[in-house]
Amino acid sequence: MNGYICMVVDGSYPNDIRVRKEAEALVKAGKNVLVVSPAGKNDIKEEIINGVSVYRFGKNYTHFKKGIFDIIESVFNVNPFFYFYLKKVFKNYQIDFLHVHDLPLAGTCYLFKSKVKNSLILDLHENYPEALKTWFLWKKNPLIRLKNSIFMNPARWSKKEEKYCNKYDKIICVVEEMKEKLMLKFNIDTNKMFVVSNHEEKSFIHNFTDNTSQKIIDKDAFSITYVGGFGPHRGLDTAIKGMVTIIETIPNAILFLVGKGSVDVEKKLKQIVKENKIEDHVQLIGYRPFKEVSAIMSASSINIIPHNADEHTNNTIPHKLFQIMLSRSLLMVSSCKPLKRIVEKYDAGLVFEAGNSIDFSDKVIEAFTNFESIRSKTENAFNAVMEKGENWDTESLKLIDLYNKIEN
């Protein structure tokens, strides 16, 4: 292959873990990979990172700017910012494959179909139309709510999803659940549908053995820890409400929420904490460096993924599931279909009913009461990743195989 696999991403590279892992896996397989992304404030315009050619365009791509272009894309099926710079990319590079990361850029990139030597590939990170139903639930600004109801309307984006899933040559989904959903909903040919999941590399284990210190988790507390973004769909309100019952049995229990969300989301979470009078038992930590996050996971009594169950969360899976499985700390997840499927398949942790704060508290108390006997689940989780194929080393072969087949 002389030309490039051009990956287009509406965000900073290499910050998106999925995009980075896919790009680097293809480079290791001998492919030429070019990632095209908007530039942040201090980003270098062009560089090579672990063999991946990176072309960043524009200047200081902020959330505000992205919001404006999202509106234009919603109405006209084209993001003029990306379109202008992609024209330059096609002028300067031979593009054999255009690999588009997620639905919002599908319309813009499809305009270049005639210039792509081989195939257009749409990589759906999540069920975007359904995600729109939950992302903005706690937004207070009436203008933002109006903008979202008109331009980020789930029905509008569902039509786009159907249109481009049928137009693109290949579709990559994160989980089997999403693949089956799209095939049934839009009558898509199974031969163009593929699953490449959000697994973690085996080498991620070194993050838990490099002696990075953390000062968040109190060793004298029974620590229940969530790491990740804050949003209405994350189920953090369920975990907070569950703490009311938990502390009656486990007085030293503390819920640590490590990460960030919008101002409205964090305000809502703090309000729930205050209403339930559990300020001493819930801590919003904020963003922590990646290395420290691994140390926090290892130090925690339980790591949780409490996502609410809906058509968004039932059709994707987070990287942190497999990261926690490598941490050898106890894992507890909600009953979202992909989470439940993996955990129950390997007896890798505990599962509670999504959105049910009573069942959440019952499962935490069960873990506390039977902690030593339940800890065997941590080895099951670890072995599932390291020995039974639930890792990126194995999963990436699906992506490489896809490209090898369509090259020939």
Three-class HEC string of 51-62: CEEEEEECCCCC
Same domain membership, residue 189 and residue 47: yes
Instruction: State residue 200's pLDDT score.
Output: 97
* Residue pair 319/17 in contact by the 8 Å Cβ criterion: yes
Which residues fall within 8 angstroms of residue 213, CB to CB, at 6 or more apart? 292, 295
Task: Give the domain extent around 162.
Answer: 4-198+391-407
Q: Is 51 left (phi over 0), alpha (psi -120 to 50) or beta?
A: left
Instruction: State residue 1's pLDDT score.
Output: 57
Same domain membership, residue 328 and residue 243: yes
State how far the Cα of 292 lies from the Cα of 290, in Å rounded to an integer. Answer: 5
Q: What is the mean pLDDT of each run of 10 residues along the chain (408 residues)?
A: 91 94 98 96 94 94 84 91 96 97 96 97 95 79 73 90 97 98 95 97 89 84 97 96 98 97 94 97 93 92 97 96 97 98 98 98 97 92 98 98 92
Provide the CATH number for the domain around residue 217. 3.40.50.2000
State how far the Cα of 291 lies from the Cα of 266, in Å rounded to an integer. Answer: 24
Instruction: State residue 134's pLDDT score.
Output: 86
Same domain membership, residue 276 and residue 351: yes
Q: How many CB atoms are closer than 10 A to CB 358?
A: 13
Full-model pTM: 0.94
State how far the Cα of 289 lies from the Cα of 259, in Å rounded to an integer. Answer: 10
The Cβ-side half-sphere exposure at 217, using a 13 Å CA radius, reads: 22
Instruction: State residue 304's pLDDT score.
Output: 98
Same domain membership, residue 287 and residue 170: no
Domain count, the chain: 2
Same domain membership, residue 36 and residue 121: yes
Instruction: State residue 391's pLDDT score.
Output: 98
SS3 assignment, position 211: coil
Same domain membership, residue 397 and residue 376: no
